[in-house]
Amino acid sequence: MADSGLYVHVPFCASKCPYCAFASCTRLGHLAPAWRDAVLAEARRRAGSFGTFDTLYLGGGTPGLLDDDLLASLVTGLRRALPFARDVESTIEANPADVTRDRASAWRAMGLDRVSLGVQSFDDDDLRFLGRRHAASQAAAALQALRGAGFTNVGIDLIYGLPGQTLATWRDTLDRALSFGPAHLSCYGLTVEPRTPLARSVHAGRVVMPDESRFEAFFLETSRRLAASGYVHYEVSNFALGPRSASRHNDKYWHHVPYLGLGPSAHSFDGARRWWNVRGVEPWLRRLGQGGLPTAATERPTAEQHRLEVLAVGFRTSSGVGLPILRATPGWQAILDAQVADGRLEVADGRAVPTVRGLLVADALARAFA
Amino acid sequence: MAERRNFSIIAHIDHGKSTLADRLIQHSGIIADRNFRDQILDGLDLERERGITIKSQSINLPYTSKDGREFELNLIDTPGHVDFTYEVSRALASCEGVLLLVDATQGVQAQTLANLYLAMEHDLEIIPVINKIDLPSADIDMARMQIERDLGLDGANALLVSGKQGTGVEELLEAIVERIPPPTGEVGDPLQALIFDAHYDAFRGAVAAVRLFSGEIKAGDLMRPMAIGKAYKVEEVGVFRIVREPRPILRAGDVGYIIAGIKSVADTRVGDTITMDNNPAPIALHGFRESKPVVFSSLYPVASDDYENLADSLERYKLNDASLVYTKDSSAALGQGFRCGFLGLLHLEIVQERLEREFDQSLILTAPSVIYKFTMEDGRALEVDNPAHYPDPAAIRGGEEPYIRASILTPDRYMGAIMKLCLERRGVNSEIAYPSPGRMDIKFDLPLAEVIFDFYDRLKSITQGYGSFDYEMLEYRKGDLVKLDILVNGEKVDALSMIVHKDRARARALNACERLKEEIPRQQYKVAIQGAIGGTIIARETITAFRKDVTAKCYGGDISRKRKLLEKQKAGKKRMKMVGDIEIPQSAFIAVLKTSDDE
Ligand SMILES: Nc1nc2c(ncn2[C@@H]2O[C@H](COP(=O)(O)OP(=O)(O)OP(=O)(O)O)[C@@H](O)[C@H]2O)c(=O)[nH]1
Ligand code: SF4
Ligand SMILES: [Mg+2]
C-alpha cells in the first residue's frame, strides 16, 4: 500500500482574514509551546494505525508564524515519534509577510523542502479586500527569498472571483505568478463560507459576488492560460508543472490514501476509519493533557458510502472515477453517454475522466451517479 | 347493570365540541389528571396540529346520577368542518341523542343547521347547548333567539355551559340521562351490530367500532359480517376509553369494538352489519349512503415500484375513512396510480397527509378537478372529472361546470381585497350584508373549480386569517372549457394537465410555469417550461443551466461532509420524477396547485 500522509494543523494566525472558515485563532500564540508538546503526544498515541509516512504537511492557520526553534523541535520530534520513508515531501504553508531569507534557510535546514505560499493576488486592491497582511511587493520578495534559500519546490496560492476583479487584472496576477516559475499553483475561486465576516457583508449587500457566468469565465481562463504555460490541471483548483510537481500530500486526500491529521480540527483516515479532532485549541489541549485522545467523532464508511466518497472526490481530479464504481448506478451507461456527448466526461483506460468543463460541475457529476 | 345513554356532540366547526368532551371525560374520572391533555379525543397528529377534529371518536364514560343511578355513557365527538359531514352521519347512526352546541359568540352557523338536519333525519333527541358562556362577548340571548328562530328548537330548554371552564357540566350530564332515551333492542334477539367505523391495527387486524342494536357478542363467538360470506371467530370485544378496554361481553344498546383477527381489509366494511354465524339476523341494518365526492385528483407513488404498496395503504386507509372513493388511474409521466374522489379540498389535503404520515407513503397529487359536463356535437352527454378524458375539442358543442354560493364572513376592512379575489375567480351575483357593525357577509356565485384552486389559502392570507369561508352547491352553468397542458422541454407532463375556463387559461398557465421554474432545480441543461392549449403555446419560462457546480476546496475533512451531502441527495432522488431527462421534484407537482403570495 502507498505510504501515508502526515498533516499537522497549526491553529495560529496573526490576524483573521474575513473570508476564512479554517480553525485558527489570533490571540493564543502564547500556547504554541504547549501546542507543540501536545502534537507530539498525539503523534505517539496515534502512531499505531499507520505505516510509514512519505509526506509531512504543516498547514493551518499560519505555520510560517512559528519561530524557528519551536518549528525545529516539532519537526525533529515528529521524526522521532513516527516512521518516515526515505523520501519525504515536507511542506510548510507560509504567508509572504512572514518569509525572510534567513527564515527560509532555517526551514531548509530543518529538512522542509516545499513551501506553499499564500500570495492570493498580486493586486494590492485585491489583497486589501481579502484582509491580507502583505502587499504585492512583499509576495515577490518572499518568492525571491525562497529561491535564494534553495527552495525549488514552491507552490503559489491565488484567489479569483473577487468583487471588482476583472479578467484583465486576474491575468496580470497569473502572469506575475508564472514569472516565478512555481512548481505548483493553487487557484481557488473565492467562496463565501457561512458565518464569516464576508458572508455577513454579502448578506447585508455591502459586497456583491460575481455571478456564475463570470466565475465560469475566470475558471476557464485560468485553466487555458496555465495549460499554455505547461501546467497540468490535475484537480479543480490545482495545477502542477508536470506530473511530479503535484502536491503529493493533497493527492492522498483525493485518492483514498491514509493520512494522519494532528492538531485541533484535523481529520484522519486510516484506510478504513475516518475521525476528526475537536476544533478548539483549548479543548484539544485539555483532552491530550488528560492522557486521552482528542477525537470528536469516528466513522467507518460502508462499501456504499465509500463509493459515494469516490464519486464526490474522483470527478474533481484528472484521474476521474473507475467505471466499476459507476456501474453500481442504475442506468449508468445512459448517464455516462449523455455526459460524454455533452463534453463533461471522457472515457479513457476504463475510467470516466472529467474535461475542464466537467471539473467545473464536478458536484453535479457526482450527483448524477450517486 | 348500568343503564346506557348513547349520544354525539355536533356543531359548527370550532364551537367547542372536543373541549366540552374533555370536561365530560374528566368528570368521569377515567383518566388521571396528569395524563390529560386538551382535546384528548383529537388523537391524530394532524388533528392536534391543526386544532380541528377530523375523525369522529367514541368514548365510554361511567356516570352516577344525582339520584344514585349508574350509567355508562357512550359519547361520540364529531368534526365540525363541512368536508367531514360523513363522519357525523355515521356517528349519529349509533346514537339516541345529540348535544347540539352553539357558540355563544357566533350563534347559529351553516354547519349547526346542516348537522341539526342530520340529527332530525335519524330521529334523535336534540339537546341544544349554548357554549363558551365564559367569553365576554358571549351573547346568550341572541343564541337562544337563534335556536328558536333558525333551528325551531326550544330556546328556553338550552343548557348554558363553558366547555373551557367546566361551568354547567353537571347540569348537562343530568340532562343527558334525563332527556336522551335509553337504547331499545332485545338481548335475546339475533345479533345486529352496525359497523360505524373501523381502523387497521398492525397486530390485531381490523378493529370494528360497532353499535349493537340487538343480541350480544363475546370472545369465542363465531360472527359473520352480513355482506361477506365468511365467518370469523371473535377474539376480543370491549369499549373505547382512549385505549381499548376489553369487556367480557357487548349487549344490545352498547357501543364498543370487535376484533376477530380479520386481516383482509375488504371483509370489514363500514355500514355492514355483524351477526352470529349460527343464529343470523334476518336482515341487515341500514348501511350508510355512499358519499358523493366533489373534488377529484390522482395519487401517484413517487417511486413507481411503490404502486402495490400504495394500493395496500389506500385499502387500509379507507377502512378508517369510508368517504374516500378511488379507482385505478395511469399517467405517462407518473406511471400507475389512483383517481380519488374527495368531499372537499380539506379532505383531499387530510387524505394525502394521513397517507404520508400513517402509511409512510410519498405521494404526488395531480391538480384537483371538479366534474365537468360536456354536450357533444352528436348529442351525447359526457361527464369528465379527469383532464386525461377531456374530449376532442372539435366534437364539443358546449361545456358546463358546477357553481357554488360562497359566503365569506370578514371584518369590513378586507372587503376590497376579497372583491378583487372573487372577481378574478369569475365570481358573479355579489351580495353584501352587515350582520354586525364592522363585519361583512360577502356572497358570490363562484365556479367550484376556481375555489378548489388555492382559493381558501388566498382568502386566509388576504384577510390575515380573519376571513371565514363557507359554501353551498349550486347548479351547473355554461362555460367555455379548455384543456391546458404543461410541457417540460417539449414533453407533455400529463399529470400537470388541467381543464380550465378559457378566460383563466393564460393566468393559470403563467402561474404553473412560474411555480415549476421555482421548484425544478437548475440542471446541466437549459429547461423550457411551457403552457399550451392544443398546439398553441400561451405561457413560457426558462430555467437556465448552471455554469458551475463545484466547491473550490476539498481536503481531508471535506470528504465525509461531501459524502453525507451526496447521501442526502441520493435519498432525495427517490422523491424526483424523471420526465424525459429532467428531474422534477415531488414538491413541484404540489406547487403548481398554489398561486404565489403576490398574485
Ligand atoms: N373561551 C372558551 N373557549 C372555548 C370554549 N370551548 C372551546 N373553546 C375554544 O374554542 C376553540 C375550538 O375548540 P374545539 O373544542 O377544538 O372545537 P370543536 O368544535 O371540537 O372544533 P372542530 O372539531 O374542529 O369542529 C379552542 O381554541 C377552544 O379552546 C369555551 O367554553 N370557552
Ligand atoms: S486565510 Fe489563512 S491566514 Fe487568513 S485567517 Fe485563514 S488560515 Fe489564517
Ligand atoms: Mg373537535
From the list A216, A259, A364, the residue facing B524 with the nearest CB is A364
Same domain, B586 and B508: yes
Looking at the structure, tell me whether residues A333 and A193 fall in a common domain: no
Share of chain B above pLDDT 90, in %: 64
Å from CA of B54 to ligand 1 middle: 14
Residues 545 to 564 of B: which have CB under 8 A from any A CB?
Answer: 546-557, 559-560, 562-563
Q: Give the integer Cα–Cα distance in Å for A20 and A190.
A: 10
Q: Which residues line ion ligand 3, judged by CB < 5 Å?
A: B 17-18, 53
Neighbours of B116 (CB within 10 A): 23
pLDDT tens-digit series, residues B403-414:
999 989 888 899
Examine the domain organization and report whether A232 and A325 are in the same domain: no
Helix (H, G, I), strand (E, B) or coil at B169: helix
- Per-residue pLDDT of B360-375, as tens digits, reads 888 888 888 999 999 9
Claim to verify: residue A229 and residue A311 sit in the same structural domain: no
Ligand nearest to C-alpha B553: 2
Last residue of one domain, picked from the residues B424, B447, B479: B479
Residue B186 is assigned to a structural domain of this protein: no
The sheet carrying A351-354 orders its strands as A321-322, A351-354, A345-348
Strand B527-533 and strand B536-543: the pairing is antiparallel
Phi and psi, residue B417, nearest 5°: -65, -40
Judge whether B304 is closer than 8 Å to chain A, CB to CB.
no
Question: Do strands A184-189 and A153-160 pair parallel, antiparallel, or not at all (unpaired)?
Answer: parallel
Q: Give the distance (Å) from ligand 2 centre to CA of residue A195.
A: 15
What is residue B344's DSSP assignment?
Answer: S
Q: Which of residues A254, A269, A285 is at a domain's end?
A: A254
Range of the domain at A247: 4-254
DSSP B156: G
Same domain? For A249 and A312 the reply is no
Q: Which residues line ligand 2 (CB under 6 A)?
A: A 13, 16-17, 20, 22, 24, 60-62, 95
Q: Are strands A295-299 and A274-277 parallel, antiparallel or unpaired?
A: antiparallel
**Total domains, chain B:** 5
The stretches of chain A forming alpha helices (DSSP H) are 32-46, 68-81, 101-110, 124-129, 136-148, 167-178, 197-204, 212-228, 248-254, 281-289, 303-314, 323-326, 332-341, 356-360, 362-369
Q: Which of B515, B519, B485, B494 is nearest to B579 (CA)?
A: B494
Q: For a pocket test of ligand 2, which of A13, A128, A133, A193 has the largest count of ligand atoms closer than 8 A to its C-beta? A: A13
Mean pLDDT by 10 residues, chain A (370 residues): 91 92 81 96 91 95 94 97 95 96 96 97 96 95 96 97 94 97 96 93 93 93 96 97 88 93 96 94 95 95 95 96 94 93 94 96 93
The alpha carbon of B358 and the centre of ligand 1 are apart by a number of angstroms equal to 26
Q: Residue whose CA is closest, atom 4 of ligand 2?
A: A17
Atom of ligand 1 nearest to the CA of B81: 25
Check residue A25 and report its DSSP letter. B
Closest among A101, A31, A17, A97 to A65, alpha carbons compared:
A97
Domain that holds residue B543: 482-593
Q: How far is it, in rounded angstroms, from Cα B387 to Cα B495? A: 9
Q: Whole-prediction pTM value?
A: 0.68
User: Whose grid coordinates read 459576488?
Assistant: A209
Beta pairing class for B216-218 and B249-251: antiparallel
d(CA B114, CA B126): 14
Lowest mean pLDDT among B14-28, B137-151, B281-295, B478-492: B281-295
d(CA A256, CA A248): 13
Ligand 1, CB cutoff 6 Å, lining residues: B 11, 13-19, 39, 51-53, 79-80, 131-132, 134-135, 162-164
For residue B550, the distance in angstroms to the closest alpha carbon of chain A comes to: 5
Residue A260 lies in a domain: no
Question: Looking at the structure, do residues B473 and B582 belong to the same domain, yes or no?
Answer: no
| Cα B417 to ligand 1 centroid, rounded to whole Å | 29
The residue type at B573? K
Distance of alpha carbon A357 from alpha carbon A364, whole angstroms: 12
Q: Is B117 on the interface with A (CB under 8 A)?
A: no
Per-residue pLDDT at B305 exceeds 80: no
pLDDT at A1: 56
**Residue A163 and residue A91 in one domain:** yes
* Separation CA B40–CA B281 (nearest Å): 37
Residue in the block written with cell 339476523: B281
pLDDT of residue B589: 82
Element (H, E) at A99: none
Phi, psi of B154 (to 5 degrees): -80, 105
The answer on A43 and A135 residing in a single domain is yes
Least confident window among A74-88, A316-330, B237-251, B458-472: B458-472
CATH code, domain with A88: 3.20.20.70
In a mutational test of the B interface, the residue from A212, A216, A262 whose CB has the highest number of chain B CBs within 10 Å is A212
B92 and B51 assigned to the same domain: yes
* Coil/strand/helix, residue A156: strand
Q: Among A9, A10, A24, A198, say which to mutate for ligand 2: greatest number of ligand atoms within 8 Å of CB.
A: A24
Q: Among A347-361, B468-482, B509-523, name the most confident range.
A: A347-361
pLDDT for position A313 = 96
Record the cell numbers describing residue B62, joined without a space: 361511567
- In terms of domains, do B486 and B575 share one? yes
d(C-alpha A70, C-alpha A63), whole Å: 11
Any idea what the CATH number is for the domain that residue B322 is in?
3.30.70.870
Query: Do the chains contact at A367 and B548, CB–CB below 8 Å?
Result: no
CB atoms < 10 A from the CB of B542, how many? 12
How crowded is residue A211: how many other Cβ atoms within 10 Å of its Cβ? Answer: 10
* Whole-angstrom distance, CA of residue B273 vs CA of residue B283: 9
Whether residue A234 sits in one domain with residue A320: no
Ligand 1 geometric centre to CA of B20 (Å): 8
A87 within a domain of the structure (yes/no): yes
Mutant choice from A190, A249, A300, A308 vs B, greatest count of B C-beta within 10 A:
A308
Output the CA angle A17-A23-A28, nearest 5 degrees: 85
Q: Are residues A342 and A193 located together in one domain of the fold?
A: no
Has residue B597 got a pLDDT over 70? no
Beta strand ranges found along B451-535 (DSSP E): 468-479, 481-488, 491-492, 498-501, 527-533
**Cβ of A301 and B569 within 8 Å?**
no
What is the position in ligand 1's atom list of the atom closest to the CA of B53? 23
Residues B535 and B462 in one domain: no
Could you give the 3-state DSSP secondary structure of residue B434?
A: strand
B140 and B202 together in one domain: no
Same domain membership, residue B134 and residue B17 = yes
**Cβ of A335: how many Cβ atoms within 10 Å?**
18
Residues B148 and B231 in one domain: no
Residues A142 and A59 in one domain: yes
Total tally of structural domains belonging to chain A: 2
**Sign (positive or negative) of CA dihedral A120, A126, A132, A134:** positive
Smallest Cβ distance to B550: which of A261, A266, A359?
Answer: A359
d(CA B448, CA B406): 9
Residue B599 pLDDT more than 50?
Answer: no
H helices of B235-344, where?
Answer: 307-320
CATH of the domain at B139: 3.40.50.300
ipTM above 0.90, yes or no: yes
Domain boundary among B447, B479, B511: B479
Nearest-atom index, ligand 1, CA of B42 = 23
**At B562, which CATH number?**
3.30.70.2570
Q: Are residues A247 and A316 in the same domain?
A: no
Closest in B547, B553, B563 to A305, CB measured: B563
- From atom 7 of ligand 2, which residue's Cα is the shortest distance away? A61
Q: Are residues A64 and A195 in the same domain?
A: yes
CA dihedral (B323, B324, B327, B328) in degrees, to 10, reads -170
> B149 to each of B15, B108, B118, B143, how far by Cα in Å?
19, 10, 18, 10
Question: Quick one: DSSP state of residue B387?
Answer: G
H or E segment to which residue A319 belongs? none
Instruction: Note whether B549 contacts A360, CB cutoff 8 Å.
Output: yes
Distance in angstroms (rounded) separating the CA atoms of residues B148 and A135: 90
Residues A92 and A31 in one domain: yes
- Look at residue B292 in the predicted model and tell me its pLDDT: 81
Q: Is B287 a member of any domain?
A: no
pLDDT of B30-47, one tens digit each? 988 888 999 999 988 889
In angstroms, what is the span from residue A21 Cα to ligand 2's centroid? 8
